[in-house]
Amino acid sequence: MSNPTPSPETSSAEALVAEHAEYKYGFVTEIEQETLPPGLDEGTIRHISAMKREPSWLTEWRLAAYRRWLEMETPVWPKVSYPPIDYQASSYYSAPKKKGEGPKSLDEVDPELLKTFEKLGIPLHERAALAGIAVDAVFDSVSVATTFKEKLASMGVLFCSFSEAVQNHPELVRRYLGSVVPVSDNYYAALNSAVFTDGSFVYVPKGVRCPMELSTYFRINAQNTGQFERTLIIADEGAYVSYLEGCTAPKRDENQLHAAVVELIALDRAQIKYSTVQNWYPGDKDGKGGIYNFVTKRGKCAGVDSRISWTQVETGSSITWKYPSCILLGDGSVGEFYSVALTNHRQQADTGTKMIHLGRNTRSTIISKGISAGHGQNTYRGLVQIQPGAKGARNYSQCDSLLIGDLCGAHTFPYLEVKTDDAQVEHEASTSKIGEDQIHYCRQRGLSEEDAVNLIVNGFCKQVFKELPMEFAVEAQKLLAVSLEGSVG
């Protein structure tokens, strides 16, 4: 029963995913890095803060978070299991060694880094860059380059690394940092607040529709380090921005921790669309190695008629723990969550969303598609909360699970808390096994078993994929194919 080798008796779909897929982003960049020795105490935090020449308020903010974190306990409620993490064993800062003052322009970025991102399909030279997408490239603990910065600045759009924002736009950072995810929000958010090293910052001014997709590509390279990035996106009144993030890491036998915090703020009539294609190294087929992806993402629809949409495609990481959420404060604001989470082999995911309705006539939509294969465990966990003031609130939730094989699991924990008398809350859920009949039908038309599974899974995810920007939708489809890859029988 636990023998993973496909035998003639095992079902065809099971055999299909039994073999380990090749993770093509698993290479390591040989580059000289400046890495802090492992360990975490107040000294480490002061050191990070000093290296980044941060103002003292930020150093204090970090220290307060750290002290808070020391008093907190690892959350045990997620349906995932892993050995306790030794926070003293990992390094909290690792960056490519700077030559001189650090790169002023792309031409001065270390060619090894440019090559690395090129290899990941993210060319950083603007002439080669993907049309219509500006990229902030984060390598371990620092941002190494941001493209199209000047072009965006001409429209008043600020898009830069978090560290730069601290130097150049301290008033905005100070005003909004921690305003959506307070330092004490949860264990990993507190840890991130103490030790975050870089990330992306976006500010779109009043009435501006950001002309290109903004994106951050996160790359973990160094060994025994964690990545703790912080992203802050502010869309001022009437502004619109679509933001994408992607991520990969080398194949290593040790688990690495990635604990990020993302805060979004949408003011009156502003709209933020945030898309993620998460492809951290998932570990091998026996569950060795892989990234622990413990992330807090939350958006605040602060203004009237504002809108925040989260779209995520989670295929990587050995463990995923994240709940991109919306606080619907402004009257008439809208929150959306579209998610595909795939777990294969020994991957575990506990993911979902929280929609907190505070304003009147607020609306939220949740579409979650979980796919479990191999020994993968996939949990949807969601909260829809309609607070007493949220007259006329509406929510629609749909959670579907697809199982491939007999050894995987799908779990759904939807929580509904309704404190008004006129809320409309709908919840639909389904769990189905990928049909041998469907696979056979496709094969009878000439498709290989692998192509058949991909086709069926992609169809299952369609409602979510159509929310992604075009290039990402194509990427996401390919990624699903790779994540399900294996030999037939």
d(CA 295, CA 260): 5
d(CA 251, CA 253): 7
What is the four-CA torsion angle of 170, 173, 176, 180, rounded to 10 degrees?
-160
d(CA 177, CA 160): 15
Residues paired with residue 94 on neighbouring β-strands, in sequence order: 35
Q: Of the candidates 301, 277, 300, 316, which has an alpha carbon nearest to the alpha carbon of residue 469?
A: 277
Q: Which of 350, 449, 467, 485 binds another protein (CB under 8 A)?
A: 449
Phi, psi of 143 (to 5 degrees): -85, 125
Q: Which of 113, 142, 195, 442 binds another protein (CB under 8 A)?
A: 442
Q: Which is nearer to another protein, 111 or 459 (CB)?
A: 459
Q: Which of 459, 474, 478, 487 binds another protein (CB under 8 A)?
A: 459
Interface pattern 397-436 for another protein (x via CB under 8 A) = --------------------------------------x-
Stretch that binds another protein, among 88-96, 245-253, 381-389, 456-464 (CB under 8 A): 456-464
Q: Which of 167, 416, 443, 471 binds another protein (CB under 8 A)?
A: 443
Structure-block tokens of residue 406: 């007999």
Q: Of the candidates 199, 248, 250, 243, which has an alpha carbon nearest to the alpha carbon of residue 222?
A: 250
Stretch that binds another protein, among 95-103, 227-235, 405-413, 452-460 (CB under 8 A): 452-460
Q: Counting beta carbons within 10 angstroms of the beta carbon of residue 200, is it exposed (0 to 12), middle (13 to 18) or buried (19 or more)?
A: buried
The sign one gets for the Cα dihedral 285, 290, 292, 298 is negative
Stretch that binds another protein, among 152-160, 278-286, 304-312, 460-468 (CB under 8 A): 460-468
The sign one gets for the Cα dihedral 468, 470, 476, 481 is positive
Helices (H) and strands (E) in the chain, counts: 11, 23
Least Å distance, CB 458 to another protein, is 7
Q: Which is nearer to another protein, 157 or 367 (CB)?
A: 367
| Residue 3 touching another protein (CB under 8 A) | no
Q: Which is nearer to another protein, 264 or 456 (CB)?
A: 456
Task: Restricting to residues 462-481, name those near another protein by CB under 8 A.
Answer: 462-463
| Residue 358 touching another protein (CB under 8 A) | no
Stretch that binds another protein, among 139-147, 175-183, 245-253, 461-469 (CB under 8 A): 461-469
Task: Restricting to residues 19-38, name those near another protein by CB under 8 A.
Answer: none
Q: Which of 25, 159, 321, 460 binds another protein (CB under 8 A)?
A: 460
Residues in contact with another protein by the rule CB under 8 A: 12, 435, 437-438, 440-449, 451, 455-456, 458-463
